[in-house]
Chain A
């Protein structure tokens, strides 16, 4: 249920002229069915229907656009495909730029190198509103998508108790950052920049949401916020710990993560015991 809520929030944000979300998230879960749907809706939703930047699915979703819009208005289709095209190209450039990040950092130079690799003029880098931030945000979205794929494909997660499930997922997500760990502090500082804070906060909120959902969360009202805040804290502290961890394969980080998750669940149990009906509430004061 919450996933559709998140989608709706993203889509309403996009109609206001939002930027980063255009690249990835809303389309993916609903895949082909939504792309067919979108060709018959009114034009102003068009910019909100992004293509999946991975090459294979770009071709598949664009062919689905073509076939399903054949019966629809021709002008609408023509308007639609070119508009989606530049976002696809931008995504390709960003994807290629990631390969240069280790050498050149999360910077314009990496993006210029990526554009050259793909065969597009590096001028396209100027069309990203916040340049380096676009690259970092693309990477964050990409990781989130891989996490979602892992959740959707992994049946065994449902058998685990929540704390173990959370541990596994956070570890899986942080391992995606391991190849870039030498340049990750730069990425964090880019995300902390006032212009970029709101987007990076949203991305992290979505990430935390996904993990809790996979762990089988049925919370509502205040509990929902508390859980996400706590997990956000666990995730961030582990991420920062990882920056200075030099143990083989980040063993110390995973130990740290395990301890933090246990602490959180112990704390939750403690609070539940304190407020349980066995102790009369007024007596507590």
Chain B
């Protein structure tokens, strides 16, 4: 089904890209990291969703469903989805809010609120945003003014203080250069009572499963990337950046340091993916 709508391996790798021997494990200068990430995602944008399906066996859909159900969206919500270029999380939130509306017809005050729902999708990479906008058109949400596509940097958001009810970042935070800045920006834009939710690939500690997961990550995924997207290096970078990202506890303490309370995390698939959440009070 997918193979019909996507072009198979025609992504060209630019000369600059292959000549830079970068790996997620190598010490990369900070100013170079954002450039490299930019190149990676410009290359993968068109095949991003397809590769997600392949790599996770379709599980990423369930993970995102879980993220949105933890968020508990409500009509009239102002939500910010950062690094959400292709719009997966934003579409789910919109669907959830629209269905709640149909359910909660009991409260007459909520009828006007439906129009006030705003979901801002922020991404630093315009290619990813374009893919997202196209998908919105395909879903018939092109005219929906609840969805707002914004290009921006997670470390320096253009939104006002205390303006968002919710903030999500799904599979984006391991790509940023300064995690602390992103966290403090998240804290800044959230209202009192607002929640921060982060879905990210994380560390597995279960003995046998860990070895299997490592094998899968280092041997299977770059190969898949090569075959399906024609881009081995990007997926090599992906796998190694996962290993470099702080483990669950450490990341939770970083979130708490940014000022969030009730910081918790939930491991999915034994720690392959973790959802961290925090509350701003």
Contact = CB atoms under 8 A, between A and B. Distances in A.
A104 B195 contact: no
A115 interface: yes
Contacts of A175: none
B277 interface: yes
A124 B107 contact: no
A142 interface: no
A131 B70 CA distance: 11
Given A89-B281, A109-B107, A112-B74, A124 B193 contact: yes
Given A82-B261, A85-B261, A123 B195 contact: yes
B262 A127 contact: yes
Contacts, number: 65
B277 A123 contact: no
Contacts of B191: 120-121, 123
Given A82-B261, A85-B261, A109-B106, A122 B193 contact: yes
B72 A109 contact: no
Contacts of A109: 104, 106-107, 110
Contacts of B107: 103-104, 109, 113
Nearest to A47: B262
Contacts of A89: 193, 281
Contacts of B165: 121-123
A127 B277 contact: yes
A103 B71 CA distance: 25
B147 interface: no
A86 B72 contact: no
Contacts of A93: 193
A251 B50 CA distance: 67
A126 interface: yes
Contacts of B262: 86, 127
Interface string A96-113: 000000011000110011
B166 to A, nearest CB: 5
Given A123-B77, A124-B195, 5 more contacts: A123-B165, A124-B193, A125-B72, A127-B262, A127-B279
10 cross-chain pairs, A with B, having the tightest CB-CB distances, nearest first: A126-B72, A120-B193, A121-B193, A124-B193, A121-B191, A86-B261, A123-B165, A86-B281, A121-B165, A123-B195
Interface of B: 70-72, 74, 77, 104, 106-107, 109-110, 165-166, 190-195, 261-262, 277, 279, 281
